[in-house]
Chain A
Amino acid sequence: MKLHYSPGACSVGIHVVLEEIGKPYELAPVALKDGAQHKPEYMAINPKSKVPALQREDGSVLTEWPVIATWLAKANPQAKLMPTDPEGEIRCLEMMDYVCGTIHPQGFTRQFRAANFTPTEADLPKVVEQGKALAAKYFDTLEKTWKGGTWVLPSGYSVADAALFFVEYWATRRSGMTLPPKLDAHLQAMLARPAVQRTLQQEGLAA
């Protein structure tokens, strides 16, 4: 099994999931800075030109963060990374979809790739500010609707925590944002996990 990733990209969350599972896997870096994701070599693996992409034992490639996480969790029930009851499973997917479909692209992509939003250089700071404001609003929503304890789901630790982790990490390490209390406690709890520490070390990221 091979994870196509870029250090510090949202693939870091899937990397955490793989470390939590603890079975052997390979890492294949994709140099997003050099535009490697748009080159034929990578597009042959993932025509969507993004990371993460998971190449499985049978050679097939799986894409879309929440789907990769769901598949890994279901293929490794011993790791207990996803609730097995229908309600728990669906709430887990709901959370991953919100992080990956809304918080990341609406909040953070505006901050990291503002030029994807506007062609006018003078407007780039406005796009970045809008991204920060949106991210703060989304975090506020999560804080207010938090149903879990330390972990985001009431059932305990899950792949949803790895999703929330990467936007919390970006918010505090890249955007200079302050997280609301429950999310801040969640980030600290994630950083204390050996699987997260191994992931950050492997990717050369600050703890």
Chain B
Amino acid sequence: MRDNGAVLTEYPAIALYLATSNPEARLLPQGPDRLAEALEVTDYCVATLHMQGFSRIFRPANYAPSEADHPAVKAKGEEIFSKGLGVVDRALAGKDYVAGDYSFADSALFYVSFWWNGRLKKDLPANVAAHYARMNARPAVQRVLRDEGLA
């Protein structure tokens, strides 16, 4: 909820809004191509890795009405997630952050990495693992994890 009382929804829109309205934080990639890169990865992390992959793992009942099918749903969720993470991993080659420099897109990759590695204890592919380590070293990330009781 913003200062004028208006509520903004949808992760990528909220992230872009925060980046655009706080230019001093330098979270907004410069130029349409870098911005597209950042939005593209944010969108993929949220709508595919999270909403297609993790949602199957965490809430299989939303997908298959029969409880006997839940393990299959979870397995499909893991497959979607790990294939998708592979795509992001290749796109990260040679880069420290998703759009080159640090931007609003990096915390989207961070949260799905956190779920996969932090919660499910699964391995991250090499470039994503390096990104995750970089994120965990950031003071802002450390403050958030502490505040949310996740540290």
Residues of A in contact with B (beta carbons under 8 Å apart) = 47-48, 60, 62-64, 66-67, 70-71, 74-75, 86, 89-91, 93-94, 97-98, 100-102, 105, 116-120, 123, 126-127
Pick from B13, B44, B84: contact of A93, CB under 8 Å = B13
Interface residues of chain B: helix, strand, loop or mixed (majority): helix
Number of A-B residue pairs, CB cutoff 8 Å, is 93
Measured between beta carbons, the chain A residues less than 8 angstroms from B63 are 117-118, 127
Provide the bound-state CA to CA distance between A67 and B66, in Å: 36
Which residue of chain A is the closest to B13 with respect to CB atoms?
Answer: A94
A66 touches B69 (CB 8 A): no
A90 touches B52 (CB 8 A): no
Pick from A47, A63, A90, A126: contact of B90, CB under 8 Å = A47
Contacting A at CB under 8 A, from B1-35, are 8-13, 16-17, 20-21, 32-33, 35
B10 touches A86 (CB 8 A): no
Provide the bound-state CA to CA distance between A126 and B9, in Å: 29
A86 touches B21 (CB 8 A): yes
- Is B133 engaged at the interface, CB distance under 8 Å to the other chain? no
Looking at B20, B35, B40, the one whose CB has the most chain A CB atoms below 10 A away is B40
- Is B73 engaged at the interface, CB distance under 8 Å to the other chain? yes
**B39-80 Cβ-contact flags toward A at 8 Å (1 or 0):** 110011011100110000000000111101100110010000
Provide the bound-state CA to CA distance between A197 and B135, in Å: 48
Provide the bound-state CA to CA distance between A64 and B141, in Å: 27
Provide the bound-state CA to CA distance between A120 and B67, in Å: 11
A123 touches B40 (CB 8 A): no
Measured between beta carbons, the chain B residues less than 8 angstroms from A97 are 10-13, 43, 47
Measured between beta carbons, the chain B residues less than 8 angstroms from A60 are 33
Provide the bound-state CA to CA distance between A64 and B51, in Å: 14
A64 touches B65 (CB 8 A): no
Pick from A66, A98, A126: contact of B65, CB under 8 Å = A126
B8 touches A90 (CB 8 A): yes
Question: Contacts A47-B90, A93-B12; is A105 near B73 (CB within 8 Å)?
Answer: no
A94 touches B10 (CB 8 A): yes
